[in-house]
Amino acid sequence: MKGVNLCWGSLVLLWTLSVVSDAAGVSSAERGGAGRRRSGGGGGGGGAEKRRKFHRIQHGQCSYTFILPELDGCLGGASPPQTEQYGVSRGGPSVVQRDSPPIDREWSAQKLQRLESTMANNTQWLQKLERVIQRSVKPGVSNTPSHVVQNQTATMLEIGTNLLSHTAEQTRKLSSVEAKVLNHTSRIEIQLLENSLSTNKLEKELLLQTSEISQLQDRNSRLESKVQRLESQQKGELEDMKQDKNRLQSVVRNQMSAIESLERQLRVASINNTALQRQQAQLMESVHTLITMVAATTGSPPREQMWRDCADVYKAGHSVSGLYTIYIGNNTDPMQVFCDMETSGGGWTVFQRRFNGSVDFQRSWREYKMGFGDVLGEHWLGNELLFLLSAQRLYSLRVELRDWEGNSAHAQYDRFTLSSERQQYRLYLRGYSGTCALMLTGGWWFDACGFSNLNGIYYTVGHNIRKLNGIKWHHFRGPSYSLQSTSMMVRPYDF
């Protein structure tokens, strides 16, 4: 559109010049000469005539010469969209090159409307100029000197040229601003498009996250329902367990009562058994007394009746466990001992028995030396007699154990020797066999602490658990289980 305005401006200037020349009385010969000069005039003029086309119109006394727009200088109204779209003309590059997207049909229609409006404005301007010139030409203008007409014509040309230059500059600036605005608008549109794409992407991601959150909420709801069901089940199970616990406690209390009753009955039976054993011992004492009396009357007791241990008693034909009188070492005083004639072939001389807690085994050194308790019940024979007994010949040791659940165990050593009091009754063992530990040390013989103590505190059933100072044998029931009964006995190695 800007190129069209420039072409119309050049046409207006030439039209004005023709009118002024005719009004000043320029002769037809001069116009013909000028025409010849424009049409001929050498080799350069022929090229200009080829490039330009003239159109002349006679209107009364005035003649009008129009120079049609040049195709090489500017494009006419044939293809303005291409000029506006790509920013270049066929005659040369335009002022500003655009980088905006192609213009649509609506934009081209608007440009065409503005072009038509501009042409109408130019036509009105030409008509006004024609009227001004006609009023300025008076009847006596033919007498006006030619130099005055030329000066006026030059002035008007200069004014028109300045006007066209100013218009062209304004047009160029306007085109530059318009291009910048269009470029900025294009960049904004591109940025808006990118933002729209980013927004769409974010919306998709948001939808995905919303879907995932919904799925997580569903899972959470299912988990919560499962947790609630589990909690209700656990509550029910806890209630059942509490009821079972109460029932078990009731059963345990009943069993404890029954066990205590059985313990009382056992004590009574033990007392009765002890009474029977005492009667047997009294009978045996009577027999021994009779034997002693017979021996006194004859001068000395029969040698075969002076038993050194229970093995001699067993070999003499006595196979019933009970109280017997023996002569230990060179001691002429008889000593009553309990003989076990049933365990592992019999012939065992018992020096320790515990089975009901009737005797306190927390005693002094002297009491352990001399012995204490009831031979027919719980007792300790005495370290001094045990030293004299082990000095007679080679003996073996056997330890019998029983817990409160009816389980039994034993430990047997082929060699058993006890040193004198001067050596603090040190114990020597060798050649183990049996069902529990190899070691035999404890609150009786303190050497290695803690593995066994058959002389510890007697605890009844139900109170015998987690007792480190009870009757224990580590490798049978552990270090904190107090046993029910124990017995320790010796017999000759070659029995």
For residue 389, what pLDDT is reported?
94
pLDDT tens track, the chain, 495 positions = 444 344 444 444 444 444 444 444 433 334 444 344 444 444 444 444 444 445 454 445 545 454 444 444 444 443 444 434 333 344 444 434 444 445 455 655 676 677 677 777 777 776 776 676 666 655 555 566 767 767 777 787 778 778 778 777 877 887 888 888 888 888 998 989 999 998 999 999 999 999 999 999 999 999 999 999 999 888 888 888 988 889 888 888 888 888 888 878 877 876 776 677 667 666 766 766 676 666 566 554 554 568 999 999 999 999 999 999 999 887 778 899 999 999 999 999 999 999 999 999 999 999 999 999 999 999 999 999 999 999 999 999 999 999 999 999 999 999 999 999 999 999 889 999 998 854 544 335 654 445 788 999 999 998 889 888 899 998 899 889 999 999 999 999 999
Continuous segment of H or E residues that includes residue 123: helix 105-136
**Residues 171 and 74: beta-carbon distance below 8 Å:** no
Residue 412 backbone dihedrals phi, psi, to 5 degrees: -130, 140
- Rounded CA separation 86/5 (Å): 19
For residue 274, what pLDDT is reported?
66
User: 460: Cβ–Cβ under 8 A, 6 or more apart, which residues?
Assistant: 263, 357
* Residue in the block written with tokens 């069901």: 229
**Residues 392 and 385: beta-carbon distance below 8 Å:** no
**Residues 457 and 470: beta-carbon distance below 8 Å:** yes
Residue type, 378: E
Residue type, 352: Q
For residue 83, what pLDDT is reported?
38
The DSSP bridge partners found for residue 427 are: 418
How many Cα atoms within 13 Å fall on the side-chain side of residue 265? 6
**Residues 183 and 99: beta-carbon distance below 8 Å:** yes
**Residues 409 and 416: beta-carbon distance below 8 Å:** no
The SS3 of residue 155 is helix
**Residues 384 and 475: beta-carbon distance below 8 Å:** no
* C-alpha separations of 381 from 390, 396, 458, 471, 491 in Å: 13, 17, 18, 18, 15
Overall residue count recorded for the chain in this entry:
495
Under CATH, to which class is 306-492 assigned? alpha beta
The DSSP bridge partners found for residue 363 are: none
The SS3 of residue 352 is strand
User: 84: Cβ–Cβ under 8 A, 6 or more apart, which residues?
Assistant: 1, 103, 108, 111
- Rounded CA separation 283/297 (Å): 21
Q: What is the largest CA-CA distance in the chain?
A: 213
Closest by CA to 454, choosing from 430, 487, 427, 480, is 487
